[in-house]
Amino acid sequence: MAGAFPNATVTAYEQLLDDMPGHPGDAHVMAAAIVSRCQVIVTANLKDFPEAELAQWGLTVSHPDAFLLDQLELHPQETLLALQNQSRESSRPSLSAPQLLKSLRRTGVPRFAAAVARLRSQGVHDG
């Protein structure tokens, strides 16, 4: 991950670990989100991030399917372009756009994949 996202490393969050509510195994996620001034924690593990506890830190939690649907609604061209780039740059295996959408459906974002497929069928393009 560090190689793919070199500027995404969060440090100096350890001092908050003991104050984090929720599941102890997820304390580092919430502490890193606070230190980096995130607004949303994107996770399929919603049960370990209670909304009331996150709210006191100015955070919300979103399932990846809901988060990606929001991005598609707010930034459709950019989202479609990102998917096109992901498809083009995929290797081991390489994925066509339909194959990428199929993979996304299987990996937990079926509503997002369906919404993208609808837009593509309506002729909405990525650029």
**54 and 23 in a common domain:** yes
* Tally of residues, the chain: 127
pTM of the model: 0.85
Residue entry with tokens 């930034």: 75
In sequence order, the 6+-apart residues with CB closer than 8 A to the CB of 127 are 77, 80, 81, 84
**108 and 77 in a common domain:** yes
Whether the upstream peptide bond of residue 64 has omega within 30° of 0, thus cis, is: no
**86 and 104 in a common domain:** yes
Residue 126 lies in a domain: no
Residue 3 lies in a domain: no
**114 and 74 in a common domain:** yes
Q: In this model, does residue 126 exceed pLDDT 80?
A: no
**84 and 58 in a common domain:** no
Domain containing residue 87: 66-121
Provide the number of structural domains found in the chain.
2
* pLDDT digits 0-9 by tens, 34-75: 999 999 999 999 999 988 989 999 999 999 999 999 999 999
**70 and 117 in a common domain:** yes
DSSP-assigned beta bridge partners for residue 62: 42
Residue 6 lies in a domain: no
